[in-house]
Amino acid sequence: MTQIDLLEETSPDRVIECFWEIVPPLWGRVRDHIRQTASERFGITVEQFHILRHVYSGCSSVSGLAEAKGISRPAISQAVDMLVAKDLVTRSQSAADRRFVHLQLTDAGRLLLESLFQETRDWMRLHLERLSPSEMAQAVQGMQAIQAAFKSEL
């Protein structure tokens, strides 16, 4: 009998144990899939993927990226240089403040990122299709309940 089996079925401890047994390993597999797909199919590193994702989500400056990623501006700037060289991101200086460099995805960058997102969704769908409609509904309800419990933290 596992530690989870010993815990009361409806206790917060049961949810916590399930979380630690399921979420980190599952997220690791999803990250591994993204990493492999980004590298093999699209020729970008995970770091480059994260930068593209942040720019896609509206983070449009090197300093904003550095803050979001928790790394130095020179390190982000070097990574952005690689994405500019691959024609995935453009840089443009602000006319109002020459110190501000605006970043934007190129059409190729947007297409790459959307294709990577779609491939990841397709891969996840293959696994989730193994669940019955009832199990899928329960999974959604469970995730929504956990999200609601941490709403003030998210």
Helix (H) or strand (E) holding 28: helix 12-42
Cα angle value 24/26/28 (rounded, 5°): 70
- The tokens for 87 are 């024609």
Residue 123 — left, alpha, or beta (φ > 0 → left; ψ -120 to 50 → alpha)? alpha
Strand, helix or coil for residue 4:
helix
Q: What is the DSSP letter of 58?
A: T
What was the pLDDT predicted at 2?
A: 57
DSSP result, 81-147: HHHHHTTSEEEEE-SS-TT-EEEEE-HHHHHHHHHHHHHHHHHHHHHHTTS-HHHHHHHHHHHHHHH
pLDDT of residue 1: 46
Residues in the chain with pLDDT values less than 50? 1
CATH class of this structure's domain 3-153: mainly alpha
Query: What's the confidence (pLDDT) of residue 7?
Result: 53
| pLDDT at res. 8 | 63
- What's the one-letter identity of residue 34? I
Q: Which tens digit of pLDDT belongs to each residue from 139-150?
A: 999 999 999 999
Q: What is the pLDDT of residue 20?
A: 95
